[in-house]
Amino acid sequence: MERKKILITGGAGFVGYHLARHLLSTSTAKLVLVDNLFRGRMDAELKTVLKNSRVTFLNLDLTDPRAYLRLGSQYDHVYHLAAVNGTGIFYDMPHEVMRINTATILLFLEWFRKKNARGKILFTSSNEAYAGGLSSFGQLPIPTPENVPLVIADTYNPRWTYAGTKLLGELFLIHYAEHYKFRGVIVRPHNFYGPRAGYNHVIPELSLRIAARIDPFPIYGATDTRSFCYIDDAVAAMVLLMESGKTDGQPIETVHIGVAEETPIRVLVETLFDVAEWRPKKLDIHEAPKGSVARRRGDVQKIKKLVGWAADVSLRDGLKSTFAWYATHPDTKMKNERIKVFV
């Protein structure tokens, strides 16, 4: 039986790294990981993955048309994960978020339809793509189905630049796939977390502050809720969607990956205190950052019907593994800044 050939863009990032590990442990596929290391890191964990003889790494900037000359072709599956993400980055460099994410998806789809149209592509969107519905309409179904109206609530708020690029990415893929008759699936991740997730999301920041014994302990948006999905569950779901013939039709499917449970940020913090076996003497509670939505929980019935997937890892178990990793991987640049609720 011929081995599958699989391409992962953003392969040095959080999801890309864990996806590669999953595929190496559950398949005989040959993997090509692409990353420009803008956010992804060539750390010990990634170097271990790259030692596998089935893995090739390409350091490429996918906003450069010349990069696509090195990508090759004949991939069975293509996971397009590459994007600039991170709440802090949305505020610090919104113009670059727009440029990089939009240029990448457009150039990538041009390469795919010319060089790899017989393969299948997965595009990671974001639940941030419909976050504007609540502030714009005053209501949003909870749990939220995949077909709610997509809204950019405020074009002047830099937070929405990321959502805008993901919305455009969905439109590009839907209509490219329909016109050029190739297979694909869009996934909207719902708060993936786990080891090696970077340092500017809420769980990493909370973990680092707990490890540093920050007291009083700041919490922003304590009553806001999210549904947190552990990364091992998340990448298994992505592979199931790509392997399934039920996601081969037209129009291509848009599918949530997440958990059914809704967790308040205060409960998240208290659970982390428990797994860390430490708690501060005082909590410093603040309002959520501007632009943050109060509730977010995707309806995950569609993925269950399509491929029979449901998350296995409990929040407590996932947080235990995550905190253990961050407690031994401190961020030397960490400052006692406010914690932003991440997408």
CATH of the domain at 105: 3.40.50.720
Cα 220 to Cα 285: distance, rounded to the nearest angstrom: 6
Mean pLDDT, residues 83-105 taken together: 86
- Sequence-separated (6 or more) residues with CB below 8 Å from residue 248: 120, 183
Locate tokens 């699989």: which residue?
Answer: 6
Whether residue 202 lies inside any domain: the answer is no
Specify the pLDDT at position 336: 41
Please identify which of the residues 130, 162, 193, 220 carries the catalytic annotation.
162
Specify the pLDDT at position 67: 96
Helix axes 265-276, 315-327, angle to 10 degrees: 60
Whether residue 50 lies inside any domain: the answer is yes
Cα 298 to Cα 189: distance, rounded to the nearest angstrom: 9
Whether residue 210 lies inside any domain: the answer is no
User: Sorting pLDDT into bands at 50, 70 and 90, what band is 341?
Assistant: very low
Q: 133 phi and psi, to 5 degrees?
A: -60, -40
Number of domains, the chain: 1
User: Sorting pLDDT into bands at 50, 70 and 90, what band is 343?
Assistant: very low
Locate tokens 């929405």: which residue?
Answer: 160
Cα 135 to Cα 151: distance, rounded to the nearest angstrom: 9
User: Sorting pLDDT into bands at 50, 70 and 90, what band is 76?
Assistant: very high
Whether residue 119 lies inside any domain: the answer is yes
Mean pLDDT, residues 230-256 taken together: 97
Cα 328 to Cα 154: distance, rounded to the nearest angstrom: 39
Whether residue 135 lies inside any domain: the answer is yes
Q: What is the pLDDT of residues 175-221, one digit of tens each?
A: 999 999 999 999 999 999 999 998 878 999 999 999 999 999 999 99
Cα 223 to Cα 263: distance, rounded to the nearest angstrom: 9
Q: What is the pLDDT of residues 262-306, one digit of tens each?
A: 999 999 999 999 999 999 999 999 988 766 778 888 899 999 999
Q: Tell me the residue range of the domain where 175 lies.
A: 5-197+228-260+297-312
- DSSP annotation string for 87-106: HHHHHH-HHHHHHHHHHHHH
Q: 246 phi and psi, to 5 degrees?
A: -70, -15
pLDDT at 335 over 60: no
Specify the pLDDT at position 78: 98
| Residue 218 CB neighbours (<10 A) | 18
Mean pLDDT, residues 252-267 taken together: 96
Specify the pLDDT at position 340: 41
Q: Nearest-CA neighbor of 197 among 55, 331, 35?
A: 331
Whether residue 283 lies inside any domain: the answer is no
Secondary structure class of 335 (helix, strand, coil) = coil
199: annotated active-site residue: no
Specify the pLDDT at position 309: 98
Mean pLDDT, residues 3-24 taken together: 97
Whether residue 270 lies inside any domain: the answer is no
Whether residue 127 lies inside any domain: the answer is yes
DSSP state of 6: E
